[in-house]
């Protein structure tokens, strides 16, 4: 009953609607009518990397977190980065920001990267909260 159910990524404009979803209970991503289990699209980056590899429609992305920033690479080229919101007591809060390079033109690939970043940041925050309990 409690906990996350679905996170929906929506598009705006003339063709507004759902660009993708994270189904937390089913442990799936849904993009463009395709639904895939997380365990089918995610794998460890290997022995010598701190990142995770994610695959969707023939593209493999490595996602890493360091210094309060997520980076997404494709064939060792950065294609996106995400800086989560960060609150501060004595100075201005830092707003979240997401940037894509021109290498990512396909809307389904963009949606997949956004969902992976949301998933990764949520899991990181959950792990951080458990560590402080």
Q: Give pLDDT tens digits for 55-84.
A: 998 899 999 999 999 999 998 899 999 999
Band (pLDDT 50/70/90 cuts) for residue 3 is confident
Share of the chain above pLDDT 70, in %: 93
| Residue 38 pLDDT class (50, 70, 90 cuts) | very high
Output the pLDDT for position 64: 94
Domain ranges, ordered by start, for the chain:
42-132
Residues 10-26: pLDDT tens digits?
Answer: 888 766 678 899 999 99
| DSSP state letters, the chain | --S--EEEEEE-STT-EEEEEEETTTTEEEETTEEEEHHHHEEE--TT-SSEEEEETTEEEEEEEETTEEEEEETTEEEEEEE--B--SSSPPBPPEEEE-TT---HHHHHHHHHHHHHHHHHHHHHHHHHH-
Q: Which of 76, 59, 45 is nearest to 111 (CA)?
A: 59
């Amino acid at each position: 009953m409690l906990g996350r159910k679905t996170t929906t990524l929506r598009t705006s404009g003339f063709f507004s609607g759902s660009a993708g979803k994270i189904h937390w209970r089913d442990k799936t991503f849904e993009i463009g009518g395709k639904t895939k289990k997380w365990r089918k699209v995610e794998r460890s980056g290997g022995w010598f990397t701190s990142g995770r590899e994610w695959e969707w429609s023939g593209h493999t992305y490595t996602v890493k977190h360091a210094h309060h920033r997520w980076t997404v690479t494709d064939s060792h080229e950065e294609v996106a980065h995400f800086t989560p919101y960060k609150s501060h007591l004595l100075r201005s809060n830092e707003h979240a920001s997401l940037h894509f390079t021109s290498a990512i033109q396909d809307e389904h690939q963009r949606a997949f990267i956004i969902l992976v970043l949301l998933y990764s940041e949520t899991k990181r925050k959950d792990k951080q909260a458990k560590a402080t309990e």
